[in-house]
Structure 1
């Protein structure tokens, strides 16, 4: 099991989603509890194990589930009636196969394909085409999100940090892009400290990540700028710009692209590092 994936749980989901009140509070608690309990096992099964993949998965599911407040689309599903591209060929299919699960699995075809995919792992699972309402229940809701992510090869887009492309696959366009971007920014802030726990420091170099500050961040920014490829403010604050530059540098050197500056990244930058101040 991925060490990072094992740390993605209900507590992480609570940090991502603003707490709701009123009638939705109980629903949000149920979604966060059910989904959070599944993630440590489910994420590695579909290869969502790197910081970027986890961050994008969390951002998309947070948006699609209205901040983890529902496992079923609020609309009736009538808008999908007659959608042959979704396999909705029988009267009532729009409402019957409305969006369910944290990525809002929609349409008869997807429910049929989800059943086949799930049965390759668990042969005795329900037939979701016959009982579509079960896709809103745990654990099936979570596995429906995993099925969609896996069968659409979204990990590859996450590796490129391509929010626009991922949103297009999930939603068909740019709907909710601003909200998805906010969730992604928050997911990066929440996940990076957890990811940094897997990067060992040594006696020569520290481990820096988004949110780090101080002289070592100054030195990192100066070194990245000195390579000639990155325009960075030297401000001692490891923000999104510095993280992006670290990722680009890591990719150019064949290192693990995680945006965390640890000993391997510093060693690759050693020729550009300024001396420490006395």
Structure 2
């Protein structure tokens, strides 16, 4: 079981303010303690599976800011393909949950699997802890672990929403999730020299290790985006960091630069 928790969610979540921040904090705090055990129950139990799950639910929940779609649901009125056969069903069975459950038929089906009467109590689907279980049941039903095992974001996105809506945002969340899980694993496993467990990175490198590098550069006070792409801005930030630490400012992140970065964790 991967010990994913509130801290991982915070690392992935976007910075928001006001009421949105209050809602985000409530959702993250509500699901943080049980997240690892619930995911494990649904065999979302590898780094790739967890990363893809978190990326998809982060996007679907607007960065863990809501478990209920912002629209009224009126657009679903009369949608027989969703089981909305009675007046008011569109609003009554609007999208709720970390992966938005929509339509009377889906509320009936998922509620039956979870042993909860969601059809007669649709608002319950927005409760954070239950919304996590709903998302996991949806994940299981759509066989999303298969897409995650292949590290196939396009396939995962199609299985979640039927198309490629929000693909760039989902990709950005996936990069952040992979980086957060890599840091979690590094912190939980004894290692002789953590700096040697990180690959040499340079301009053109991509992936979760680059995202971790960018996160550590930001923590060191350098203005660089976290997108998993080692471009010219990241190279410049590395060179500035190296110069500050009296290392050769060549923009290449090897063991010495990693060691200096890891001292700040």
1:19 pairs with one of 15, 36, 47: 15
Q: What is the alpha-carbon distance in structure 2 between the residues aligned to residue 33 and residue 148 of structure 1?
A: 22
1:80 alignment counterpart? 76
CA contact (8 A) 2:93 2:107 kept: yes
> What secondary structure sits across from 2:70 in the alignment?
coil
CA contact (8 A) 1:199 1:207 kept: no
2:59 pairs with one of 60, 63, 83: 63
> What secondary structure sits across from 1:11 in the alignment?
helix
Report how far residue 100 of structure 1 moved: 0.7
**Alignment CA distance shift 1:207-1:78 (3 Å):** farther
Q: Note the aligned Cα RMSD (angstroms).
A: 2.6
Q: What is the alpha-carbon distance in structure 1 between the residues aligned to residue 183 and residue 36 of structure 2?
A: 17
**Alignment CA distance shift 1:193-1:111 (3 Å):** same
Deviations along 1:201-257, one digit per CA (max 9) or x if unpaired, are 689xx973xxx24xxx4xxxxxxxxxxxxxxxx8599742999xxxxxxxxxxxxxx
Q: What runs of 5+ residues in structure 1 fail to find an aligned partner? A: 120-125, 218-233, 244-278
4+ residue runs over 3 A deviation: 195-203, 234-239
1:42 alignment counterpart? 38
Q: What is the alpha-carbon distance in structure 2 between the residues aligned to residue 72 and residue 207 of structure 1?
A: 44
Q: Number of aligned pairs?
A: 210
Q: What is the alpha-carbon distance in structure 2 between the residues aligned to residue 241 and residue 73 of structure 1?
A: 30
Q: What runs of 5+ residues in structure 2 fail to find an aligned partner? A: 211-265
> What secondary structure sits across from 1:76 in the alignment?
coil
**Alignment CA distance shift 1:57-1:159 (3 Å):** same
**Alignment CA distance shift 1:196-1:129 (3 Å):** same
Q: What is the alpha-carbon distance in structure 2 between the residues aligned to residue 115 and residue 147 of structure 1?
A: 10
Deviations along 1:87-134, one digit per CA (max 9) or x if unpaired, are 212221111111111111111111111111112xxxxxx310000001
Report how far residue 139 of structure 1 moved: 2.0
> What secondary structure sits across from 2:34 in the alignment?
helix
TM-score using structure 1 length: 0.69
Q: Is residue 99 of structure 2 the alignment partner of residue 132 of structure 1?
A: no
TM-score using structure 2 length: 0.72
> What secondary structure sits across from 1:139 in the alignment?
helix
